[in-house]
A and B are shown apart, each in its own frame.
Chain A
Amino acid sequence: MSMKTVVVGGGPGGYVAAVRLAQLGAEVTVIEKRYIGGTCLNEGCIPTKVLLHTAELFATMEKESQSLGLKVEGISCDWEGLQKRKELVVTQLVNGVKTLFKSHGIKVIMGQASFTSENELVVKSSDGKKQIVEFDKAIVATGSAPVIAPIPGVESPGVITSNEALALAERPKSLAIIGGGVIGCEFANVYSDLGTEISIIEMLPNLIPNMDQTVVNVLRGRFERSGININTNSKVLAIRQVGDMTEVDAEGPNGPFTVSAEKVLLSIGRRPVTKGLGLEELGAKMDRGFIKVDKQMRTSVKNIYAIGDCNGGVLLAHTASSEGMVAADHIMNKNAGIDFATTPYCVYTKPELAGVGMTEKEATEKGYKVSTGVFPLNGNGKSIIMGEVDGIAKYVTDSKTGEVLGLHMAGPRATELIVEGALAVRLEATIDEITTTIHAHPTVGESLHEAAHAVHGNAIHVPNKKKK
């Protein structure tokens, strides 16, 4: 008899786990509350990248056409058309997942799941109908939602989260962004490129605090040059609706200030969606709403696993997918593991930011004697051709052994190129393996080769600073 499995949540964690389970011979049912594809496909990774792509093209045409040898006249953003394109891309990808389900014989039930025992759950559909689903093993992949912080006035009509920011009826003329993390920065980039006046208010000393600050500063510099008003070390005190405008009172290093904008985007983090699942009643150990799991993604309730954002590890789609594979393999008695040290962090702004492994700060804090190799993209041919020289490549290595501890990058294609660093970390490569690998010319990727050489102070395409 085949293993009867249920996956609760059809996002990037859940659908990958479901397909994997089916591949390994399990009988699979996916329960989805709202839409197949989850946050990633419907209101996260994918739609933001659609907006970013068009915004970037628009900004390039509008601001750089002359330098690129193009004559562009009368270019404007068709906001409605862009929204339609976004829907189209999302629909195409969602249908892709549905096709995957169908081809693997995966059953889908739409509704809210609630566990009643370690072998049974109840699905309540939107019409109130209830259905009992039995299982041998279940994977919870219910994801996360934007955090609404208890700031006075947070209920003002002008306050939105990333969900609404993706589907505004029209582009706002001004936007205040509370929280300068990955989500905040990506929206800042989209709307700034399209002509919206942007202010970012961030509590910590810099934007995107979890990434290597050298690469973050490249983005910050470009944001500042493009007129984005960045307020770091600033705490939001209150929000207030004044007619069509929304005002944000904050306090920064230079005292209190007020930002007024048509919309205020709240992007201060995400919270787990685990309420109503009935897991706590079954004795699942939780941590501030996140479901606690072990290395095999098992919760403290027998037969039930949890993957992705809802378990509170790294809140990234690709991590959720990898965790889904781990859980599915474990359920089907396959010995598989994922090296989570290889998790890449990507920001799809212009310049793109990407990082894998340890940042310079993390490595130093862990006690490594760190050697870094940094190469600026203004010495890279392809970046100059593309007109995108805002950027650097930076290898973080252990000076004792040469071990590659991390790779961090800002610049065009950074999110694609980071895979070199991920592979280096996975294979425990030293910087010598990078320097002795031939990198194609002319590519942005050459900069990684140069950054590797720079660890020993031997980059070719930088002026010699060593004194003779």
Chain B
Amino acid sequence: MAELIRLPKMGLTMEEGTIVEWFVEEGQEVKKGERFFEVATDKISNEIEAEFDTTLLKIIVTQDEDALVQAPIAIVGEAGEDYSALMADVGAAPSSSAPAEKEVEVETEAPAATRAPGEYVLASPLAKKTAKEKGVDLEMIEGSGPDGRVVEKDVLAAGNVKASPMAKIAAKEMGVNIASIQKDGRIMKDDVQKYYRNSRIEDLAEPSDDVQAMSRMRKVVAKRMTESWNTAPAVTYDISIDMTKLMAMKKDLKPFAKITYTDLIVKVLSRVLLKHKALNCSIEGNNIIERNYVNMGVAVATDTGLLVPVVKYSNIKSLGDISAEIKDLAEKGRTNQLGSDALQGGTFTVSNMGMYEVESFSPIINQPETAILGICGIKNTPVVNDAMEIEVKPLMKLCLTADHRVVDGAVAAIFLKDLKEHLENPAVLVI
């Protein structure tokens, strides 16, 4: 006799699944235990074996189509058998793969009534009689009729739930519709409690999604970052710097001026960049613009967003001037006093995340520049020295993102190595 194959329930929370593949074609025989079809959910994918020897007569839910749990997905039986009666049944079966049909269904289907305890239950006389016979509590049933009216089939569906006596009592107490708990096998008290907790979790979390229009500045940042991301084929290179000497130098300078690591790095960079023109240029159309000067952009985080004020001609400025200017620009940035002039003309950018103890990141190039240097925190790190001994050194990571259209890997590497030598031996600054 022809019969329906239904979509198996493969997990507690599975509500629908996708047919990944039919291993058998229509008209083909399948033996018990042989691979029949494969079902996937958002969590798992399972190959389903045939449960008995049969012939696949008709595939209802084809490959890559979705179906609700227990929805008919195929008809099996004896080869050549007439299964038209079953097909007629299937016409009404829920299948999320038939959108047109589903829409109609949605329109006619009354929303499930949620009742207050003790509220009058709208139910058909037959539903009431059946409920009494089956010992099903009408209050707990979501009606599928008009205005949430409970009809006989709702009662039957609820009555078919296999649940322990305590599960039924717990469900009633918690106001849980036991029929909506999906489980293979007997529903126990624990299942009801878990279902209840899960259904309550949203109430407890009070989630709220607040929609806010982007500020002008945020729009600019978003636009510029997207543009850079889509324009430059960028590569990020990391290198570790031994900061022992630079730290000592900062300390030595302390009585004279409050110099920051950013100031020191900008000073060294401005000098080193002149020798590595590819990293200090920009692309315009098919041209590359090289420079004999450095305008150093320094990324500043403000309450409203990212700003990159520029220290103009930093290659000829003294450490003290650089330091004072960065301090001034940053302060103006934070208090929204920067003129547009101060934000233009950059040839290279540094972004210091060291104060946040970031260990590595891949900064995005500030267009139309060709590279950006990310500065990370200084961390005491065990390193093996030349004498093959373990020594603790204050290491700082630099992360250089460079536009591969102009800066080849070796070029970037040579620049970083040169920069490393300078930073590790800051005495060269006086040469």
Question: A427–B164 contact, CB under 8 A?
Answer: yes
Q: How far is the CA of A345 from the CA of B50 in the complex (A)?
A: 44
- Please indicate the chain B residues that have their CB under 8 angstroms from the CB of A401 in the complex: 166, 169-170, 173
Interface presence of B58 (CB below 8 A) = no
Q: How far is the CA of A433 from the CA of B168 in the complex (A)?
A: 13
Interface presence of A432 (CB below 8 A) = yes
- Please indicate the chain B residues that have their CB under 8 angstroms from the CB of A427 in the complex: 164-165, 186
**Quick one: CB contact mask for A423-435 with B, threshold 8 Å, 1 for yes?**
0000111101100
- Please indicate the chain A residues that have their CB under 8 angstroms from the CB of B276 in the complex: none
- Please indicate the chain B residues that have their CB under 8 angstroms from the CB of A433 in the complex: 165
Q: How far is the CA of A429 from the CA of B173 in the complex (A)?
A: 16
Q: How far is the CA of A429 from the CA of B169 in the complex (A)?
A: 10
Q: Which residue of B166, B173, B186, B188 contacts A430 across the interface (Cβ within 8 Å)?
A: B166
Q: Chain B nearest CB: distance from A179 CB in Å? A: 37
Interface presence of A323 (CB below 8 A) = no
The number of chain A residues with a CB under 8 A from chain B is 9
- Please indicate the chain A residues that have their CB under 8 angstroms from the CB of B170 in the complex: 401
Interface presence of A403 (CB below 8 A) = yes
Q: How far is the CA of A402 from the CA of B173 in the complex (A)?
A: 13
- Please indicate the chain B residues that have their CB under 8 angstroms from the CB of A430 in the complex: 165-166, 169
The chain A residue sitting closest to B164, CB to CB, is A428
Interface presence of B167 (CB below 8 A) = yes
Q: How far is the CA of A301 from the CA of B169 in the complex (A)?
A: 42
Interface presence of B393 (CB below 8 A) = no
Q: Chain B nearest CB: distance from A238 CB in Å? A: 51
- Please indicate the chain B residues that have their CB under 8 angstroms from the CB of A403 in the complex: 166, 169
Interface presence of B189 (CB below 8 A) = yes
Q: How far is the CA of A228 from the CA of B204 in the complex (A)?
A: 61
Identify the interface centre among B165, B170, B173: most chain A CB within 10 Å of its CB: B165
Q: How far is the CA of A403 from the CA of B173 in the complex (A)?
A: 14
**Quick one: CB contact mask for B188-222 with A, threshold 8 Å, 1 for yes?**
11000000000000000000000000000000000
Q: Chain B nearest CB: distance from A433 CB in Å? A: 6
Q: How far is the CA of A210 from the CA of B188 in the complex (A)?
A: 28
Q: How far is the CA of A428 from the CA of B169 in the complex (A)?
A: 10
**Quick one: CB contact mask for B147-168 with A, threshold 8 Å, 1 for yes?**
0000000000000000011110
- Please indicate the chain B residues that have their CB under 8 angstroms from the CB of A429 in the complex: 164-166
- Please indicate the chain A residues that have their CB under 8 angstroms from the CB of B189 in the complex: 428
- Please indicate the chain A residues that have their CB under 8 angstroms from the CB of B167 in the complex: 428
Q: How far is the CA of A401 from the CA of B165 in the complex (A)?
A: 10
Q: How far is the CA of A429 from the CA of B170 in the complex (A)?
A: 12
Identify the interface centre among A401, A402, A427, A428: most chain B CB within 10 Å of its CB: A428
**Quick one: CB contact mask for A122-143 with B, threshold 8 Å, 1 for yes?**
0000000000000000000000
Q: Chain B nearest CB: distance from A406 CB in Å? A: 14
If A401-B173, A402-B169, A428-B166 are given as contacts, then 6 extra A-B residue pairs at C-beta distance below 8 Å, sorted by A number, are: A401-B169, A403-B166, A427-B164, A428-B164, A429-B164, A429-B165
Q: List 10 A-B contacts (CB under 8 A).
A: A401-B169, A401-B173, A402-B169, A403-B169, A427-B164, A428-B166, A428-B188, A430-B165, A430-B166, A433-B165
B residues in contact (CB < 8 Å) with A? 164-167, 169-170, 173, 186, 188-189
Top 6 nearest A-B pairs by Cβ distance?
Answer: A428-B166, A428-B164, A430-B165, A401-B169, A403-B166, A428-B189
